Structures are given as C-alpha cells and as structure tokens.
Structure 1
Amino acid sequence: MDIFHEHVVADFVSQAQWNRWLLNQVLGPELVRQVVKVPPPSARSSDRMVWALTQDGSFSVSSAYSLVSQASNYLGYRVRLSVIVVLNRQRRRLITFFTRDLNKAVWSRFEVGLGDWTMVSMLRHMVLRWWLRKGHNVYLKFVYHMLPMLVCWELWKVRNKGIFYGRKVGWTEVADQVFQQLCDLLHCSFPEIACCFVSWDVLHASLVGLKRRVSILPISWSVPRTGFKLNSDGCARGNPSVSGGGGVVRDWEGRFIVGYSCFFGSLTSLHAELKAMLFGVRLCVARGFQELHVESDSFVLVQILQGTHGCPWRLQRVVDELLSVKPHFHEITHCCKEANKSADYLANLGANTEQDGVFDDFRALPVTVRGEITMDRLGFPNFRRKLL
C-alpha cells in the first residue's frame, strides 16, 4: 500500500482500527488479541526490547533454559537431552575433582570438627557442610561461608594450570593461597580485626574465642527542612501475595497533616512500595502541599527514582506515573525502617482490613500510629538491635 492510500484509509477508520489492521498483517488473530489488550507506554518513555521471562527485562541463559525445558517438541527434547549429557559430564568431573589426593589434602587442611570424611562423596556435600555450620559470632559465620568458595576457586585454578600449562602445584601452596585470601577478605569486611594470623589454626581459635557482641543503634525520624514530609511504606505477605500501603504526611514541626492506608490485592513487595508512594504523592498534590520531601525505607525504590538502579520492566508504567509528578517533590531519601514505623503500621492495616482509608483527623488514627507520631515529634528514637 503506498503513502497516498494509507492516508485515505486512515481518514475512514480510527487509529485503533488502523493499528489492529497493521498487526493483522504480521501476527495471527490470537496474538493480535493479546497485543491490543496491552495499554500503550506513556509518552515520556521510549520503547525498549524486553525479555519477559526475567524481572529486569534483560536476557539470561537460565530463563532461556527454563523455557526450553518446558518445550514438548522434538527440538526441545534434543536440547534437553544435550543439556543432561553435559550436566552428567560436569557431575563426573566434579566428583573426580573432589576425590583427587591434592584436593583432599587442601580440604583436610581447613577441617575443624566436621566429622567423618567417609560420609562425603561429592564436592557439593563438602560445601554444604561448611555453609550449614553455625558460628556463634558474625566473624565465624563469614569464614564458614567464604572458605569453601575460596577453596573451590583455587583448586579450579590449579586444575587449569595443569591442563593448559602442564604445571603441577603442591597442596601446601594452594592452602596458603586460600588462607591469605581469607585473611584479606576478613580484614576488609571487619576492619576492627587488626591482628595478623600466622595460620589457619590460630585464626580459627581466635575467632572462636571472640564473644558475641550486641550492637544497639538509636534511629530517629527527622523533620523536613521546609515544607512537608511524606513517609510511605508498602507490604506484601508473599512475593507476590496480599499487599497494602500506607503513609503519613507531617510538616516542618513534626505535626500530623494527613495519613492513609490502602489495599492493593496481590502484588510484589516492591510494587506495593511503589503504589503506596504514588498514592501519597497524588494525595499531597491534590491538597496543594508544596515543597514535598518523600521518604521510604525501600532502598531499591529510592535508587530507581534517583536513576541509579534499573527498574523491573513490569513496574515501568507505575514508575513513569510517579516521575510525572516528581516536580511536586524536591527531595526523595531513604530511611531505616525504625524511622518509618507509623507508615509501616498503616500499610499492614490496609493489607489486613482489605480497605482503603484517609485519616484527616489525628484522633481517627489507630492508637499505635498516634503513639509513634507523638514519639517522633518529641525526638525519641527507636532502637535497632543487631547481634555481632
């Protein structure tokens, strides 16, 4: 069809009918019905390719494999058969990889009360035995999780050196390299450990001797510098499952202005956080609140709105709606959940009651929320307790 005829046809049919006719030229009827059900993207965002099987819309081999494994045609069967053969070969390599004398010697060097080796037949068993160990302090837990990965990595490098360069490495050299990397990672993660460890036995004994400490950190809600502050929160019983949202708006003196709770149905936790914030911002805009400071305890959501974190493609439309009213709030920040308790309670209220509500009167709020708001205004902190 030439350009002239396109303009003629467009004069007699609606844009939706014209788009449907174009889709019918390249897609089957069922696919066309599915496509037209999807609302078009907002004008402020450009089109992009999306791999629908992943959360962020980016292609991944694991999602492609899951798709292929569900296929029932001959090609899918051949692909699955090939994958099974490859996996079996890798499994035999792992077993051989683990049972060699050098590997046993390296693993034995770091053995600490794990019991009889005769019950361990695969690399996976040994790694799981380390990961499932319970350390009575954060340092031991770190070591028990990091050590098997370091051992596997160093043994893998030894295997490659032998195959590609013909170089043989003794088990003591491998064990020393594992120990050195473990010490470096331990010092980087816990700078308070300043002493140098001369051997694995000394390191482990020193960490076992450390008593478990309790860290108590006071966390306070802060008033906005000017204007109003919106604290929002979302909750979901699962991912996805029953969800709700809530929020509280206060002025520069900490005085209550308005609160809300919402029921969203079945959503993911991030989606609930996003919708709760959007509801609160729209409520503030409708009531003419200027210089709005938005605060959330969802670090990922704050990063998405600040443009430093990718947005899951399924939530892009809601993010675009929120960004369209961004000129109405001058700041968005992250806060700890201990400084967001009033919004958290209202979010759970919406999920539990399955109802929406807006609270204009402070006395209409649940008593727990009134208590949290009063304590925030007086400057009393909540406390975060962490075992070290």
Structure 2
Amino acid sequence: MNTELIPSTVCKSIDRMNRDFIWGDEEDKSKMHLVAWDKMTQPKLQGGAGLRSLKQANLAMLAKSGWRLLKEKDSLWTQLMVAKYGRQRENLDIIRPIQGSSFTWRSFTKASDLLRKGCAWNIKNGKRTKFWLDPWVLQVPLKEVALGHIPESDTAEPIERFVEEDGTWRTELFEDLIPSDVFQKILSIGVDKMATEDDTIFWSASSDGRFSAKTAYSLQNQGTPDPDEDVWKIIWSLPVPERIRSFLWLAFLGRLASNSHLFSRKVTNNQSCGSCGHPVESILHILRDCTAARYFWLRHSPPGLQASFFNMDESDWLRGNLRNSEPLGSGMSWAAFFSVASWLLWKNRCTSSFRGSSSALSPPSLEYSIMAKCKLWHEAWQAPSPLPYGRGSMTARTTVMVGWTPPIHGWVALNVDGASNGNPGAAGAGGVLRDGTGNWIAGFLANFGTATAILAELWAVFHGLVMAWKKGYRAVRLESDSQLAIQLINNRSDPVHPHATLLSAIRRKIGQDWLVSITHVYREGNRVADWLSKHSLVYPYGVHEVANPPPELASIVREDAMGISFERRIVAMDSTSL
C-alpha cells in the first residue's frame, strides 16, 4: 500500500468482500444492500458510513511515501530515489513521471495530484518563494488569478519584497491585482524577514502541518458541505449503542426495509402495514403513525408540541427531534430518548413481521418496555468506565468565581484575545495593558484579513508583546483565554506547523531582555480584550493603538478594577490554575 499501486480489479474484489460482510451476504446467498457502496465510503458528516475505499486508501498511503520523499532528505532511500528520478528538481516537482522508471516510482507519481492538493507553503523569511509564480496562497500561482497584467520583470520577485521590515504587507503593490478574498487571506499570513529559516512545505489538511494518511484519505472525499451536517454529527455522537446510531443513519437516508421500500425495489408486491392494515407502510408510519407508535408518542412527545409532532413529514420529523437536546426529568436528552424509543418501535415491528403479530408487544406493554430500557441504558451509559477516560467516565466539576486579577507590584497585566467571524473568516485581535490598580495604560485593535480562530489568537499575543515592549515595560503578565495558543507557544517541536513563522516571532519577542509570564485565563477574566477583539473587525487593515478605553468599554474596565467576578463551572482539577 505504501509503495505499489494496487490494481483496480484487486481493489474492487476486496471492496466487494467488505460490502458482502456489511450486509450479511454468504457465498450462496445474497442479501439486499440498503445503501450504495459509494455512499457507504463517504465521510460520516456527509451522510456516509465512514468506511474506506481500498483504492483511495492506497493513494493516501502512496502520498505518504511521496511526503517522506520531500521531507526525509537525509535518508538513504530518499537520496537513492531522488538521485535516480528527481535530479535537478525541487519540492513537489521531484515527483513526476519519468520514462522508463520503476513501477514503484510510477506508483508514487499516481499520488502526486493528491500530494499537491494537500501541500502548502509555510512562508518564513520569504526569500525563496516567488510571490506571483509559486502556489503559496492557493493551489495555483497568484499570476493565474490576477485581475490585471503582471509585468514580466515583477513575476520572479520573492515574497520578501512585498513585506515591510516589521512584517506588515506592502498592500499597495498587489491590492488591485488580485481578488478581494485572496487579498484577505494574504493579510493574515505572517512573514518574518529576520528569520534564518527558508520557506518550507507543510501539510495543510492537518491542524499541526504534519502528514497523516487519515487526512490524505479525507482530502479525496471533500465536497460541498452537507446541509444536514449537524444532524449527522448528532447521530454519530448520541450517547446510545452503535446499533441505534446505524439505525438512525438508515432511517434518515430513507433506507430502512419498510414494506414501501421493499415494494419499490420489487422485493414484495404488498406495501401495506402488517400490524394495522394501513395501505402504505413507510418509515414514518412505522416509527410514528402505526397504532403502537402513536399510542406511545401521544403519552411521551414533548408537551405542547403534539400538534406539530404528528403533522410533519418524515425528514422534518426526524430532523427536528434529533436536533432537540432538551433534557428530560431523568437527565436523558430528548434526542437520545427519541432515538432509543424509535429503535425499539422498529424492533417491535420487525418481531411482528417475522414471527407474527402475536409475538409483538401490545401498546401498553411496549410502552412499559421502552421506558424501562431507556432508563436502564441511560444509567448504564452514565456509569463510570473502568478505563480512566472511557465512555461514561464522569468528571467532577465545581463552581468558582472568575474575574480579572491585578498584577503584583512592579508588573503590568497584558490581556489579549483574537476573534474570527467564521473560522476561517474576517479576523482581528485586541489587547490591553493595565497596572496593579486596574488603570488603563494602553490598548490596541488589529485587523488582519481572513484567518482561523487560533491564528487570530496568536496574532493577538504577538501584537500585545510588541505594544508592551514599545511602552517600555519589562515585567509583563500576559493572559489569554486560548489554551491552544499557549500550548503552541510553549511547544517548540513544530517546524512544519502552519503557523511556525508567527510562533517563532512570538518566541523571539519573549526571549528579549525582559520578564514575561504567559498564563491561561477564562473568558470572564478576559472581558476587556474580548470586547476589543470583536470590535477590531470593523477597523481597516493594520494595528490601531487605543490610548483610552472607548466609552462603551469603560464600565467593564471599572468592574475589573473593582474586582467583580462571575460564576463558572469548571473541572475540579482546574481550580488550582485560576
């Protein structure tokens, strides 16, 4: 799988074995396949079952070998392969078809398109990457999406020419030549002209920039977002057994083997309900409208919603109930209760169909059975797991009072926060410097185009440190409500991280001749910076200093200075870190 392209006939044969196993086929007996294999291999959040196509898995593993060719330049096998087939070429151009090459090399080249799709440039000092000719923002060079003519003399200019010494972009050189959405992406990219490292390739499909076969596989199945993605997410994360999740998945796809479905596939010539005689036994009829189901739901559907509960069509009925996370008196959510009850109604219908109506439970007995099993399963799901972090393990929580705390004598407090409207989306940052009495020293607002939430948080830290240094303070307590940002700053083993350039710049700022402590604070203790970050989105590109607190923010600043705090439920073990 890592070195050879498996023939299509072999892939199809193994996929067929998987399909037969899933649906219970035997050598001399074939059963009905309720869902097409192409749908089964789609990601769960796109309505599939998350199974893997062998051909796509093979390409993902070959792409892994291609990635190693690019990154493990000192290994013997890489040197051998590149010397034989990739001479006088760099980076992704190394992996391309060569006449007379080995089958292994030809296999690698089959995954080159996938590798190109997932690779991106991590701009560090901007000396080697060409602004217009290299695919560093998009999968294609910027020259191909330019809105105007690029002079031939400018096409080979490196990225560093388009950046000021302090890392801000010289927007006047390219703002009118590229689409606005691409322009906004560029503004959020950091370039460190002081860095000694050259630009490198990272894997854009993973959050840490490192290649994984899992993300390479997922990259092949990326499509337009499913409008019911939230429903699929709910189904596959419900606190119920996996068999019930699979049942709900089939029900929402309309693939349960009801008589109407069997009739449409010419498996039966009778589509009526065997329990109540209704002329069409649809999924909705089985789960809601049949005698036993209606008897149950009239007694247990949400109060005040019975009229709409029995008047919705099938998809809206399933969608609405699965999205209802309101807790019941037992502590079980409505969505989980609805799921278990629907599955038991389906099981009772199957008992009636296969063993005769006399074997099925009567409506009152069925109601009692459903309520008893819902209670039993909910208690079992909530029971502590024997594994330390297994399903059902309960984490103790406690209520604490959280607010802004002043710095100790001789120090200043720097609170920062980032905001992204869409993740990725319009992004900005804000921060404030205050003394030991809570007095406002200085603040800033920064707008830097389109970015993810974590990139916004890192920019907030960087601009906050720049402001504190320029103001002459040499003992700074920096607080952020992003634990991930703090972890990334403290973790130095990230040469291929998508934000490695900005992280290096932050660490270099911290390493200057001053004292900086970085701590995590909950949002209740970071309200001023949170307000500034959200309001930065209406400002033009760049960093804007705020000498005095805006009138709308003054009350929050006063409350912080007075020591006002707020209740927050936290994991008990975290209380010592406040």
Give yes or no for TM over 0.5. yes
Q: Does 1:352 align with 2:538?
A: yes
Match of 2:94 in 1: 22
Q: How far is the alpha carbon of 1:247 from its aligned partner?
A: 0.5
The CA distance in 1 between the partners of 2:450 and 2:332, in whole Å, is 36
CA RMSD after TM alignment: 5.6
Secondary structure (helix, strand or coil) at the match of 2:221 reads: helix
Judge conservation of contact 1:230–1:247 (CA < 8 Å) in 2: yes
Match of 1:174 in 2: 370
AA paired with 1:89? R
The alignment-based identity, stated in percent, is 18
Matching of residues 288-327 of structure 1 within 5 Å: 292-298=476-482, 301=485, 316-317=499-500, 320-321=503-504, 324=507
Aligned length: 316
Q: Does 1:233 align with 2:233?
A: no
Q: Does 1:147 align with 2:219?
A: no
The CA distance in 2 between the partners of 1:334 and 1:161, in whole Å, is 56
The CA distance in 1 between the partners of 2:317 and 2:335, in whole Å, is 14
Match of 1:54 in 2: none
Matching of residues 1-388 of structure 1 within 5 Å: 18-19=90-91, 22-24=94-96, 26=109, 37-38=135-136, 39-41=199-201, 47-49=210-212, 57=215, 64=221, 66=223, 87-90=253-256, 92=258, 94-95=283-284, 97-98=286-287, 99-111=289-301, 112-116=303-307, 119-120=311-312, 122=314, 125=317, 128=320, 144-152=334-342, 154-155=344-345, 170-171=365-366, 172-179=368-375, 219-225=402-408, 227-284=411-468, 292-298=476-482, 301=485, 316-317=499-500, 320-321=503-504, 324=507, 329-336=516-523, 338-357=524-543, 359=545, 362=547, 364-369=548-553, 372-381=556-565
Q: How far is the alpha carbon of 1:103 from its aligned partner?
A: 3.6
Judge conservation of contact 1:161–1:168 (CA < 8 Å) in 2: yes
TM score, norm. by length of structure 1: 0.57
Secondary structure (helix, strand or coil) at the match of 2:455 reads: helix
Which structure shows the bigger proportion of residues in helix conformation? 1
The answer for unaligned runs of 5 or more in structure 1 is: 52-56, 70-83, 189-216
After superposition, the C-alpha distances for 1:237-256 in whole angstroms (9 at most, x for unaligned) are 44443322110133455454
* Structure-2 change in CA distance of 1:47 and 1:355 (3 Å): closer
The CA distance in 1 between the partners of 2:347 and 2:478, in whole Å, is 49
The CA distance in 1 between the partners of 2:333 and 2:383, in whole Å, is 11
The answer for unaligned runs of 5 or more in structure 2 is: 1-77, 98-108, 122-133, 137-198, 203-207, 227-249, 262-282, 385-399, 569-578
The CA distance in 2 between the partners of 1:87 and 1:103, in whole Å, is 20
Secondary structure (helix, strand or coil) at the match of 2:413 reads: strand
* Structure-2 change in CA distance of 1:122 and 1:88 (3 Å): closer
* Structure-2 change in CA distance of 1:315 and 1:121 (3 Å): same
Secondary structure (helix, strand or coil) at the match of 1:332 reads: strand
Judge conservation of contact 1:106–1:174 (CA < 8 Å) in 2: no
Q: How far is the alpha carbon of 1:46 from its aligned partner?
A: 7.7
AA paired with 1:241? G
After superposition, the C-alpha distances for 1:168-214 in whole angstroms (9 at most, x for unaligned) are 665121122225666899999xxxxxxxxxxxxxxxxxxxxxxxxxx
Match of 1:202 in 2: none
Secondary structure (helix, strand or coil) at the match of 2:339 reads: helix
After superposition, the C-alpha distances for 1:26-65 in whole angstroms (9 at most, x for unaligned) are 458x9599875345158xx8842276xxxxx58659x827
Q: How far is the alpha carbon of 1:87 from its aligned partner?
A: 4.0
The CA distance in 1 between the partners of 2:498 and 2:330, in whole Å, is 39
User: Structure with the greater relative contact order (CA < 8 A, sep ≥ 6): 1 or 2?
Assistant: 1
* Structure-2 change in CA distance of 1:278 and 1:48 (3 Å): farther
The CA distance in 2 between the partners of 1:185 and 1:6, in whole Å, is 58
The CA distance in 2 between the partners of 1:113 and 1:371, in whole Å, is 42
Judge conservation of contact 1:41–1:317 (CA < 8 Å) in 2: no
TM score, norm. by length of structure 2: 0.41
Secondary structure (helix, strand or coil) at the match of 2:456 reads: helix
The CA distance in 1 between the partners of 2:217 and 2:412, in whole Å, is 42
